[in-house]
Structure 1
Amino acid sequence: MTLLTGWGRTAPTRATLARPRTAEEAAALVAKAGRRGVVARGLGRAYGDAAQNAGGLVLDCTALQPSWSLSATGLVTASAGVSLHDLMTALVPRGWFVPVTPGTRYVTVGGAVAADVHGKNHHVDSSFGAHLRSLRLLTADGGVRTLEPGDDLFWATVGGMGLTGVVVEATFQCVPIESAWMRVDVERTRDLDQTLETMAATDDGHRYTVAWIDLLARGGRMGRGVLTRGDHAAPGDLPARARGNPLAFAPRPSARPPPRWA
């Protein structure tokens, strides 16, 4: 058995870890599952134990036939094991951006659906499920169902943390962009009241907003923070060196990539 944790590295448990390459292989594994059942796992970025199944079976879905397609209108169909990082690397140079990006781009499409992830644009664009047009779900009976927003099982699956089955594919609408750059401004606030007032006054004017609050500050400085706000930049906003190829996308890798603990 394999020792697994969430990204928070708490409550490690052991489970049988299988890596199906197709929906058919996943269905065969589901059919053989014991009394502990099956849990799907992506890149392991849930902080808690959502992708753990002590003593049972865990399906590592990152090997599920990695594939994606893009329509002229920005509709993407991707297999559940594709990461948002890989999608962004392919989509941004084509003028499209994923509709919702959580705190890390190293999550899978299936995980984004199962957790209904939100990002810094939640106040404008809602969570990932709001942009889904359809999904394919492997259920406990071994069948693969195509679900749309009019289906009850669709909304039970979006944010359902994998309890309705294994997401094998999803189709969602992406956002058009003119460049790979962001226009960002940063503002400091002196206390909690000003932090909340500034957020309320400025959030609607930006697509992406986030506030960091200093939890160590005391007295009159309690709740002081730093607000960061951003929007997709137009070519005219870019420095001269970037205007020749505004959609060039080459994110810098972190010095130490976060481990998968899988």
Structure 2
Amino acid sequence: MARRKKVYEGTAKILYEGPEPGTLIQYFKDDSATPGTAPQGGLEGKGVLNNRLSEFFMSGLNAIGVPTHFIRRINMREQLVRMCEIVPLEVVVRNFAAGGITTRLGIPEGTPLPRPIVEYYYKDDKLGNPLVSEEHIIAFGWANQQDLDDMVALALRVNDFMSGVMLGVGIRLMDFRLEVGRIWEGDFMRLIVADEISPDSCRLWDTRGLEAPDREGFVREPGPLADVYTELARRLGVLPSNVTHTTKPTLIN
């Protein structure tokens, strides 16, 4: 078997040249996407679960007309995706206060936001992926105003889909991050959802059993899923057999 050419390797994934022009093979590793949240050597089976979960979400988005880079799953750890130019921004959508916004603005964790808030973070690990404004983005040429308008529209459509899917299985989508890519179809450029959608890019809180009081009469408050990868895959019906582990969800700043 011919050795594949590696195009890029990140913390949680590896990209290889695809079998056809304009395609890539995305391989999901077991390593944590956030340093310090996983034991050394990674989490056994995490890449398998994230591959299945990202397939589930990306396929669902494709089916409702939200364009993504996903083509098909190849095997337990790999999927075929469209090659695209990644916009150097993380697009974060917040539905509830959690993480960095609670410390920046003093909002109690878990507070419902009046409407979904879209934030941009410049993709640079050395700088800690700083929060940036639309003025920064346009001034430095990372995207233009039309791109930003399209990214907001894309992110909010993803949020509607994801929130509904999660609520249906008793999970609150607190916030999530997206990566967006540019593709060209002739002279026409459009933006698509790229990278992955998995627990690595979402903050998820469990809402099941909140109505029933505990033995002391208190109603339980929603909180993070204890085993986010396995539990989410189980509830969505995409859990492969013989894959189990326990870890915490990735937190978005």
Q: TM-score normalised to the size of structure 2?
A: 0.25
Between Structure 1 and Structure 2, which shows a larger proportion of strand residues? 2
Q: TM-score normalised to the size of structure 1?
A: 0.24
Instruction: Give 1 or 2 for the bigger CA radius of gyration.
Output: 1
